[in-house]
Chain A
Amino acid sequence: MSEPLLAVENLRIDLTIGGVHHAAVKDVSFTIGRGETFGLVGESGCGKSVTALALIGLLRPPLSVGAGAIRFKGHDLAQIGADDMRRLRGASVSMIFQEPMTALNPLSPVGRQIAEMFVLHKGATWVEAEKRAVEALASVRVPAPDRRAKDYPHQLSGGMRQRVMIAIALACGPDLLLADEPTTALDVTVQAEILELIRDLSAARGTAVLMISHDLGLIANMCARVGVMYAGRLVEEREAEDVFRDPAHPYTAGLIASLPLLGARARHGRARLQEIEGVVPSVTAFPAGCRFNPRCAERLERCAADDPAETALAAGGRVRCWRHG
Chain B
Amino acid sequence: MLAYLARRLIQTIPILLAVAGVIFILFSVIPGSFASSLGDDGKAVLDADVMARMNRELGLSDPLHVRFARYVGQLAQFDLGSSFRTRQPVTGVIAERLWPSAQLAIASMLFAIVVGVPLGFLAAMRPGSLLDSVSMVAAVSGLSLPKFWLGLMLMYLFALKLGWFPSFGYGDGGLKHLVLPAVALGVSPLALLARTTRASVLEIMNADFVRTARSKGMSESRVVRWHLTRNALVIVLTTVGLQFGSVIGQAVVVEKLFSWPGLGSLLVDSVSLRDIPVVQGCILTIVLIFLVINLVVDVLCAMIDPRIKYT
Contact with A along B267-311 (1 / 0, CB 8 A): 000000000000000000000000000000000000011110000
Instruction: For A117, list chain B residues within 8 Å (CB).
Output: 216
How near does chain B come to A139, taking the closest CB pair, in angstroms? 17
| 28 A-B residue pairings within 8 Å (CB atoms) | A58-B214, A86-B217, A86-B218, A86-B219, A88-B217, A89-B216, A90-B215, A90-B217, A94-B215, A97-B211, A97-B215, A102-B208, A103-B209, A103-B211, A104-B212, A105-B209, A105-B213, A105-B227, A106-B231, A107-B230, A107-B231, A107-B305, A116-B213, A116-B216, A117-B216, A152-B307, A165-B212, A168-B216
Closest 8 CB pairs of A and B: A90-B217, A89-B217, A102-B208, A90-B216, A105-B209, A152-B306, A95-B215, A103-B208
How near does chain B come to A164, taking the closest CB pair, in angstroms? 10
Q: Which chain B residue lies CB-closest to A154?
A: B307
How near does chain A come to B192, taking the closest CB pair, in angstroms? 23
B15 within 8 A of A: no
Kindly state the separation between the CA atoms of A99 and B216 in the bound complex, as whole angstroms. 16
How near does chain A come to B236, taking the closest CB pair, in angstroms? 14
Kindly state the separation between the CA atoms of A117 and B222 in the bound complex, as whole angstroms. 12
**Interchain CB contact under 8 A, B307 and A116:** no
Contact with B along A69-109 (1 / 0, CB 8 A): 00000000000000000111111001101010011111110
**Interchain CB contact under 8 A, B306 and A107:** yes
B137 within 8 A of A: no
A302 within 8 A of B: no
A-B CB pair tally, cutoff 8 Å: 72
**Interchain CB contact under 8 A, B212 and A120:** no
**Interchain CB contact under 8 A, B227 and A99:** no
Instruction: For B214, list chain A residues within 8 Å (CB).
Output: 58, 89
Kindly state the separation between the CA atoms of A56 and B211 in the bound complex, as whole angstroms. 11
How near does chain A come to B208, taking the closest CB pair, in angstroms? 4
Kindly state the separation between the CA atoms of A56 and B218 in the bound complex, as whole angstroms. 13
Knowing that A89-B217, A106-B209, A106-B231 touch, tell me 14 more A-B residue pairs with CB under 8 angstroms: A88-B217, A90-B216, A90-B218, A91-B217, A97-B208, A97-B211, A102-B208, A104-B212, A107-B306, A108-B230, A121-B217, A152-B306, A165-B212, A168-B216
Kindly state the separation between the CA atoms of A78 and B216 in the bound complex, as whole angstroms. 18
Q: How large is the interface on A (under 10, 10 to 19, 20 to 34, 35 or more residues)?
A: 20 to 34
Kindly state the separation between the CA atoms of A321 and B234 in the bound complex, as whole angstroms. 54
**Which of A105, A117, A152: most chain B Cβ within 10 A?**
A105
B226 within 8 A of A: yes
**Interchain CB contact under 8 A, B217 and A120:** yes
Using a CB-CB cutoff of 8 Å, which residues 46-72 of chain A contact chain B?
A: 56, 58
Contact with A along B197-220 (1 / 0, CB 8 A): 000000000011101111111110
How near does chain B come to A249, taking the closest CB pair, in angstroms? 32
Kindly state the separation between the CA atoms of A168 and B209 in the bound complex, as whole angstroms. 12
Kindly state the separation between the CA atoms of A116 and B217 in the bound complex, as whole angstroms. 10
Kindly state the separation between the CA atoms of A168 and B218 in the bound complex, as whole angstroms. 13
Instruction: For B304, list chain A residues within 8 Å (CB).
Output: 107
Q: Which chain B residue lies CB-closest to A117?
A: B216
Instruction: For A120, list chain B residues within 8 Å (CB).
Output: 216-218, 222
Instruction: For A91, list chain B residues within 8 Å (CB).
Output: 217
Instruction: For A97, list chain B residues within 8 Å (CB).
Output: 208, 211-212, 215
Instruction: For A88, list chain B residues within 8 Å (CB).
Output: 217
**Interchain CB contact under 8 A, A105 and B231:** yes
Q: Which chain A residue lies CB-closest to B233?
A: A107
Kindly state the separation between the CA atoms of A88 and B234 in the bound complex, as whole angstroms. 33
Instruction: For A89, list chain B residues within 8 Å (CB).
Output: 214-217
Instruction: For B305, list chain A residues within 8 Å (CB).
Output: 106-107
Q: Which chain A residue lies CB-closest to B211?
A: A58
Using a CB-CB cutoff of 8 Å, which residues 215-267 of chain B contact chain A?
A: 215-219, 222, 226-227, 230-231, 234
How near does chain B come to A223, taking the closest CB pair, in angstroms? 22
Instruction: For A108, list chain B residues within 8 Å (CB).
Output: 226-227, 230
Using a CB-CB cutoff of 8 Å, which residues 48-79 of chain B contact chain A?
A: none
Instruction: For A94, list chain B residues within 8 Å (CB).
Output: 215-216
**Interchain CB contact under 8 A, A102 and B209:** yes
How near does chain A come to B244, taking the closest CB pair, in angstroms? 23
Instruction: For B222, list chain A residues within 8 Å (CB).
Output: 120
Contact partner of A106 (CB less than 8 A), chosen from B213, B215, B216, B307, is: B307
Kindly state the separation between the CA atoms of A16 and B207 in the bound complex, as whole angstroms. 21
Kindly state the separation between the CA atoms of A103 and B230 in the bound complex, as whole angstroms. 16
Kindly state the separation between the CA atoms of A97 and B212 in the bound complex, as whole angstroms. 8
**Which of B209, B212, B219, B304: most chain A Cβ within 10 A?**
B212
Q: Which chain A residue lies CB-closest to B306?
A: A152
Instruction: For A165, list chain B residues within 8 Å (CB).
Output: 212
Kindly state the separation between the CA atoms of A116 and B219 in the bound complex, as whole angstroms. 12
How near does chain A come to B305, taking the closest CB pair, in angstroms? 6
Kindly state the separation between the CA atoms of A86 and B305 in the bound complex, as whole angstroms. 29
How near does chain A come to B225, taking the closest CB pair, in angstroms? 11
Kindly state the separation between the CA atoms of A107 and B235 in the bound complex, as whole angstroms. 13
